[in-house]
Amino acid sequence: MKVIVQQESFAPGQVIQTFQDALPRGKHGGVVSFVGTMRDFNDGEDVVSMTLEHYPGMTEKHIEQVCAEAAERWDIVDSLVVHRYGEMFPNDAIVLVAVWSAHRANAFDACRFIINYLKARAPFWKCETTTAGEKRWVEHNSKDPKAEVSDSE
Amino acid sequence: MKVIVQQESFAPGQVIQTFQDALPRGKHGGVVSFVGTMRDFNDGEDVVSMTLEHYPGMTEKHIEQVCAEAAERWDIVDSLVVHRYGEMFPNDAIVLVAVWSAHRANAFDACRFIINYLKARAPFWKCETTTAGEKRWVEHNSKDPKAEVSDSE
Amino acid sequence: MVNISIKYFASLRDRMGRADEALELDGDSATVSEVWAKVTDGQSIPDSTLISVNMEYTDADTVLKDGDELAFFPPVTGG
Amino acid sequence: MVNISIKYFASLRDRMGRADEALELDGDSATVSEVWAKVTDGQSIPDSTLISVNMEYTDADTVLKDGDELAFFPPVTGG
């Protein structure tokens, strides 16, 4: 289990491959991953960049909790989360969740669980800069971070 | 929707990135992918290489059918499948399924559907070569390729 | 006259000792199981054998038409 | 004497005009809502505000202990 919260941009495929090359051989049959990408519009306006603020320490702690919970609930080989903070640009990868398992059903379930709970619980806040130079906080619907979450929103 | 059945090895992350770079901008919020990897043991014996036989024409046709069905059932932006045939070696990627969508729930569901039906329907057969030089066909449990499938096996 | 082609894959090809063959059916038509009996000297199709006609899955009762591509193969193991 | 630190994030930091502060509580203890009233001249915590103490989510009735790190922030929007 590895959780990385970093400012630098990253190439999801490369990060997955490097992590996978270090896994014990022959134990996993596959990897399921989710990569979230920055869009270039939101609410009808063009967005030139986005700054992600986070709560250092609490962010890592909660993503690690979610990964540990996934490893308890499903039989998986390993998991990897990379999440950026700071300024980023359209089409940048924001978040990567990857889960390796012997049976793919577990990897699908665990990967989905991790990204859903990460989105509900990990303290990150998006602030967009529009082409008009306006900065605005992205406001989502209020959600209890302790509640059961889904990915239907 | 793109289906590639090829003999050459491929780097999943690179293939995903190249495909994604050509997608219309701003329509998808993320990509869910499954990558199946060749293991280096099976049934307790070390496997040095594997040869995947396929039914040219029928293989592509059935993977395309499965992708088209996924696109009907879920609101997705695009899907990509790469599947190898011929000789491959431990830790090689055998299959990649990637699905882009605006809402990640659809990408998870569609990706899982595609790999499950691909595994049940696409005419591929694995033949392993063990360290003892023995060649053997991998036999799975019999399954009706027309039935509803799951990923629990 | 009904002319068909037959393909065998994987372990079934090894068992048959050939990858494909052409067959001319005497009557107007024949089912898949009748064709199998013909190419194996009267045997019945082994359990779990999969059958396709013109690259679509089908069953042993399917009646073959002129020009059909019939295939027999074991359960698939891709992905 | 109870000394705590408070952090504000995102739109709530903009609104408070500060990112963090230290607070010495007069009595033996205070709840999160009492602390919020103290730093905002008697207001109540806005709807949908999230609260953490020592980096764990909690609610407004939590009683603070000496050395606690309290944080207020809007709904999270990562991932």
At residue A56, does pLDDT exceed 90? yes
Give the tokens for residue A77. 């080989």
> Is D52 in contact with D25 (CB distance < 8 Å)?
no
* pLDDT tens digits, A85-127: 999 998 899 999 999 999 999 999 999 999 999 999 999 999 9
- Asked if B70 contacts B110 with a C-beta cutoff of 8 angstroms, the reply is yes
- Whether D15 is covered by a domain: the verdict is yes
How high does pLDDT run on average in chain B?
91
User: Looking at the domain assignment, is residue D7 inside a domain?
Assistant: yes
Contact A17 B11 (CB under 8 A): yes
Identify from A125, A127, A135, A137 which residue to disrupt to test chain D contact, counting D C-beta atoms within 10 A and taking the largest count. A125
B108 vs A48, residue with greater confidence: B108
CATH number at residue B66: 3.90.1170.40
Mean pLDDT of chain A: 91
Residue with tokens 């665990």: A110
Label residues B96-121 b or e (16+ Cβ within 10 Å = b): bbbbbbebbbbbbbbbbbbbbbbbbb
Residue B144 has pLDDT above 80, yes or no: no
Q: Is residue D78 part of a domain?
A: no
Distance from CA of B35 to the nearest CA of C (A): 9
Range of the domain at D41: 2-73
Interface of B with A (CB under 8 A): 11-14, 16-17, 20-21, 25-26, 28-37, 39-41, 90-91, 103-105, 107-108, 111-112, 115, 150-153
Q: Which residues contact D71 (CB under 8 A, 6 or more apart)?
A: A55, A58, D6, D7, D8, D9, D51, D52, D53, D55
- Could you tell me which residue, B146 or A66, shows the higher pLDDT? A66
Least confident of A105-109, A144-148, D43-47: A144-148
Q: Considering the domain boundaries, does residue A139 fall inside one?
A: no
How many folded domains does chain B comprise?
A: 1
Task: State the pLDDT at residue C52.
Answer: 98
**SS in 3 state form for chain C?**
CEEEEEEECHHHHHHHCCCEEEEEECCCCCEHHHHHHHHCCCCCCCCCCEEEECCEEECCCCECCCCCEEEEECCCCCC
pLDDT computed for residue A2 by the predictor: 98
Q: Please check whether residue A63 is in contact with residue A81, taking contact to mean a CB–CB distance below 8 angstroms.
A: yes
Nearest of A140, A143, A138, A99 to residue A121 by alpha carbon: A143
Instruction: Give the range of the structural domain holding residue A94, as residue numbers without chain letter.
Output: 2-35+55-122
Confidence of residue B151 (pLDDT cuts 50, 70, 90): confident
Q: Which residue of D has its CA nearest to A35?
A: D79
Domain assignment present for residue B115? The answer is yes
Q: Does residue B143 carry a pLDDT above 60?
A: no
Evaluate whether residue A80 is within a structural domain.
yes
Task: Name every residue whose Cβ is closer than 8 Å to that of residue A144 and which is 6 or more positions away in sequence.
Answer: none
**Is residue B82, in this structure, part of any structural domain at all?**
yes
Weakest-pLDDT range from A128-137, B114-123, C48-57: A128-137
Closest chain B residue to C51 measured between Cα atoms? Answer: B145
Confidence of residue A42 (pLDDT cuts 50, 70, 90): confident
How confident is the model at residue A142, as a pLDDT?
41
Kindly tell me whether chain D and chain C come into contact, counting contact as 3+ Cβ pairs under 8 Å.
Answer: no
Count of C-beta atoms within a 10 Å radius of residue D49: 15
Residue B136 maps to a domain: no
**CATH code where residue D6 lies:** 3.10.20.30
Tell if the CB–CB gap between D11 and A124 is shorter than 8 Å. Answer: no
- Residue-wise pLDDT tens digits, C25-72: 987 779 999 999 999 999 999 999 999 999 999 999 999 999 999 999
Q: Is residue B86 part of a domain?
A: yes
Asked, for residue B73, whether it belongs to a domain, the answer is yes
What pLDDT, on the 0 to 100 scale, is given for residue B25?
79
In this predicted structure, what is the pLDDT of residue B6? 98
Q: Count how many domains chain D has.
A: 1
For residue B133, is pLDDT > 50? yes
Mean pLDDT score of chain D? 95
Residue A142 maps to a domain? no
Q: What is the pLDDT of residue A61?
A: 98
The answer to whether position C39 is within a domain reads yes
pLDDT tier for residue A152 given thresholds of 50, 70 and 90: low
User: Do the bridges between strand B2-6 and strand B78-84 make them parallel or antiparallel, or are there none, so unpaired?
Assistant: parallel
A95, containing H or E segment: strand A93-101
List, in order, residues 6 or more apart from B144 with CB less than 8 Å away: none
C10, C47, C55: residue with CB nearest B58 = C55
pLDDT at res. B118 = 97
Chains D and A touch (3+ CB pairs under 8 A): yes
Question: In chain A, which residues touch B (CB < 8 A)?
Answer: 11-14, 16-17, 20-21, 25-26, 28-37, 39-41, 90-91, 103-105, 107-108, 111-112, 115, 150-153
| Tokens 């559907």 sit on residue | B113
Report the amino acid identity of residue C11: S
- What is the spatial distance between Cα C38 and Cα C20, in angstroms, rounded to a whole number? 14
At residue B140, the pLDDT reads 72
Weakest mean pLDDT among A35-39, B84-88, B131-135, D15-19 = B131-135
C27 in a structural domain: yes
